[in-house]
């Protein structure tokens, strides 16, 4: 038996057959995966807060707002902030207006009332002025603060299209949230592509390190 085992181990023809079988399986798997990918293109819509900048620093002393004040019309703003929100079609095909379930808009909240939409930019260029608007949520309790945000009504978002919306809010810094995501068969992504790539690469490297050095990662 030892002689047979040794002969099998050194038999070039056997290894040729094994390698050919493995290669054949890999080619078949890659072909099936490519076909599935082309027939079912992944749809992703990403959004993230690009910047959130106060117009002036808050005073460290109670009851003092400092020498600089900001007014919108006749209304004095206590904590004005300018926020840039980015919306990007990260998928492999266009997102159409019909994919907004029952015509509902995308809605985003900044934890403070949106006073005005300062501007928007689209790459590639698209006319969205009539499709971007503010909305208001009135709290269920009489004393609850009035908060709202912005909404993007159903529209065509082309593959790779990036929309940046700049708003003015009045309030302390809070997490930006997507309060309504009505898109059908579209995955919501909340990180820029570069951040996602770094996070994925870090996870892969950690998994490999844990396999190679299991004792180091004992928790």
Q: What would the pLDDT profile of 154-201 be if each residue is shown by its tens digit?
A: 999 999 999 999 999 999 899 999 999 999 999 999 988 876 545 444
- pLDDT score for 69: 75
- In this model, does residue 52 exceed pLDDT 80? yes
pTM over 0.75: no
Q: Provide the token pair at 182.
A: 């009505």
- pLDDT score for 148: 84
- In this model, does residue 16 exceed pLDDT 90? no
- In this model, does residue 208 exceed pLDDT 50? no
- The whole-angstrom separation of Cα 153 and Cα 131 is 5
- pLDDT score for 75: 84
- pLDDT score for 71: 81
In this structure, of 39-43, 48-52, 172-176, 195-199, the range with the lowest mean pLDDT score is 195-199
Strand pairing category for 75-77 and 106-109: unpaired
Strand pairing category for 44-54 and 187-189: parallel
- In this model, does residue 73 exceed pLDDT 70? yes
DSSP string, 110-168: -SS-EEEEEEEEEES----TTTEEEEEE--SSTTSPPEEEEEE-S--B-TT-EEEEEEE
The tally of CA atoms less than 13 A away on the side-chain side of residue 73 is 3
- Confidence tier at 74 by pLDDT (50, 70, 90): confident
**Whether the Cβ atoms of residue 114 and residue 98 lie closer than 8 Å to each other:** no
Domain 44-198 part of CATH 2.60.40 = yes
The DSSP output letter for 191 is S
- In this model, does residue 33 exceed pLDDT 90? no
**Strand ranges, E, within 67-113:** 70-72, 75-77, 80-89, 106-109
């Amino acid at each position: 038996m030892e002689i047979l085992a040794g002969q099998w181990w050194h038999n070039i023809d056997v290894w040729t057959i094994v390698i050919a079988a493995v290669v054949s399986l890999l080619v078949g798997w890659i072909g099936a995966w490519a076909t599935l990918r082309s027939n079912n293109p992944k749809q992703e819509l990403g959004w993230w807060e690009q910047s959130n900048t106060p117009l002036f620093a808050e005073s460290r002393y109670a009851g003092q707002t400092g020498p600089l004040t900001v007014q919108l019309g006749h209304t004095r703003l206590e904590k004005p902030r300018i926020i840039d929100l980015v919306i990007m079609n990260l998928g492999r095909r266009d997102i159409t207006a019909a994919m907004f379930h029952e015509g509902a808009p995308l809605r985003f909240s900044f934890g403070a009332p949106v006073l005005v939409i300062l501007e928007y930019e689209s790459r590639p260029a698209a006319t969205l002025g009539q499709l971007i608007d503010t909305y208001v949520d009135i709290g269920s309790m009489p004393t609850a603060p009035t908060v709202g945000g912005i909404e993007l009504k159903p529209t065509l978002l082309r593959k790779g299209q990036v929309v940046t919306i700049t708003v003015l809010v009045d309030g302390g810094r809070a997490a930006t949230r997507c309060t309504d995501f009505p898109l059908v068969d579209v995955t919501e992504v909340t990180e820029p592509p570069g951040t996602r790539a770094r996070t994925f690469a870090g996870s892969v490297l950690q998994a490999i390190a844990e396999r190679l050095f299991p004792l180091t990662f004992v928790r």
